[in-house]
Chains A and B, each alone.
Chain A
Amino acid sequence: MIVASKKPIEEVIENIKDYDKILLLGCNECVTVCEAGGKKEVGILASTLRMYFLNQGKDMKIDERTLERQCDQEYLDEIRDMADQYDAILSLACGVGVQFTAEQYFSLPVYPGVNTCFLGATEERGLWTERCQACGQCILAYTGGICPVSRCAKRILNGPCGGSSDGKCEISKELACAWQLIVERLKALDRLDDYEKLFPLKDWSSDRAGGPRKVIREDVQQ
């Protein structure tokens, strides 16, 4: 999933303080799972903001709504009839949802309420960690199912670097060395010989480097 974290309340307030009517828009997908922008977080943020503006003596109308998805036009259409009642939308969706909402409601300011962080997994409640950088050409078949692009601080394809120590990365004793994990996994799979295969220069043109990307599936297009 896409993992996000809440923006500092001060930043949110700074963005919306000059408006009178705000629609706080949550998303029921990834940001709900990572507890940053679902219905529950919309409710908490709305209460916090109402309290803040009340204390400031400002009459601020803050309404709450959580859509099934903000990265889908069909669901964004659900607020079509009510959108013009507001001065701005504060979206708690990921960066994709914020932008898609802004595209659909072109004349309405849309502000992000979360920082979109990475593609990751829930390790335990309250702990999410990165697993994928969407490089567009998956190499997991060759690295024992562990991704050096997203999990090595230098995205080294022929690792580990000299900074790997006690299984930890040179940048933090809290961070596992991806190549230590890869070697351990290759060993468990009885494939340690694969370690010596040189990984060729990677084609990064399907990564961010190649510019904004798209996936076209003619077979499912109507």
Chain B
Amino acid sequence: MSEVKTPSKLEKILRAGHLAVTSECGPPRGSDPEAIKKKAEMIKDHVDAINITDNQTSVTRMSSLASCIHLRLMGMEPVLQMVTRDRNRIALQSDILGAASFDIHNMLCLSGDHQSFGDCKQGQNVHDLDSMQLLQVVRKMRDQGKFINGDEIKRPPRIFAGAAANPFADPFEIRVPRLAKKIAAGAEFIQTQCIYNLDKFEEWMRLARERGLTEKIFILAGMTPMKSAGMAKYMKNRVPGMDVPDEVIKRLAGVPKEKQPDEGIKICIEAIQRLKEVEGVKGFHIMAIEWEEKVPEIVEATGLYPRPEPDA
């Protein structure tokens, strides 16, 4: 896994054997670029790359690509999230080229939440490709320098290709085969769903190791600190594919309301400390939803600061 294939800073850090730290920012529901720039400024010194979500939960926001460009122009390292819900293969290839033209070197290929969760419930969805097919397209464009139809690309994109994995979604028996499938499709790094059920995550990692998959892909463990017991309950009951054990809710509910945010950060820090020791975990993806200011604290408390500076 050592040969660097793109100019991505994230890739260099991972291939050099460091634990990587990424985080993410959601673009605003408006056109003010300061909203995304401010969030990124808060975390930029504590993370290696910043994901920009693509109309997450199907709510219309400033485009992921435009937001990534803002970050890039500020000298930061964005990870362009791209869902297959809203764009067909023409638009996807076109946006990949657009991203590459701004030297955006990381992409996370996703299918996206169903539009019924968002602000355009009556809209169509596209799903011309699925996330695994998008991975194949990214790799073909990069490695072969070719469009889907085989036509040559002048100045092919140089993109480090990522995918999401949910170790907790059902059916569990295909969670590891599904990871293998994403690797076969071309994924080079994984950012997982938020992990609260550490035992189940470790079991997934064990199975992945048994199949030799952790040698083939960089797995970044997804972490989201809870702000309150209410948020934990909401995540458990309302967010698809989320596994929040009752102990986590109980622990948060066990402290006074004003102390719950601190307790949530503490739980997150403890989880990172534990997962740092898991063989095959190559970094952390810290998704502090509308709580970006807490990312530096978490990174510092877990001994992941300062961030390495890879060779140019």
Contacts and interface: CB of A to CB of B under 8 A. Distances in A.
Contacts of A64: none
Query: What band does the interface of chain B fall in when counting residues whose beta carbon is under 8 Å from A?
Result: 35 or more
Interface string A174-216: 0001001001100000001001101111001000000000000
B62 interface: no
Nearest to A181: B171
22 contacts: A154-B84, A154-B85, A154-B112, A156-B130, A160-B169, A160-B174, A161-B111, A161-B131, A162-B164, A162-B165, A162-B193, A162-B240, A162-B241, A163-B169, A163-B240, A163-B241, A165-B240, A167-B171, A170-B113, A170-B241, A180-B171, A199-B130
Q: Which of B133, B136, B173 has the most CB of A within 10 A?
A: B133
Interface in B104-119: 111-114, 116-117
Given A180-B171, A198-B184, A170 B130 contact: no
Interface stretch (B36-44, B94-102, B121-129, B296-304): B121-129
A164 B241 contact: yes
B16 interface: no
Contacts of B81: none
Nearest to A187: B173
A23 B286 CA distance: 66
A119 to B, nearest CB: 19
Contacts of B85: 154
Interface string A126-163: 00000000000000000000000000011111111111
A10 interface: no
Contacts of A183: 171, 173-174
Contacts of B111: 154, 156, 161-162
A163 B137 CA distance: 23
A157 B89 CA distance: 15
Contacts of B231: none
Interface of B: 84-85, 89, 111-114, 116-117, 125, 127-133, 136-137, 148, 164-166, 169-171, 173-174, 177, 180-181, 184-185, 193, 240-241
Q: Which of B85, B130, B240 has the most CB of A within 10 A?
A: B130
Interface residues of A, number: 29
B170 A159 contact: no
A159 to B, nearest CB: 7
A171 B116 contact: yes
Contact of A154 (B130, B136, B164): B130
A184 B172 CA distance: 12
Nearest to A163: B240
Contact of B240 (A170, A195, A200, A201): A170
Given A183-B171, A196-B180, 6 more contacts: A158-B132, A158-B133, A160-B171, A165-B169, A170-B241, A201-B133
Contact of B114 (A153, A159, A195, A201): A153
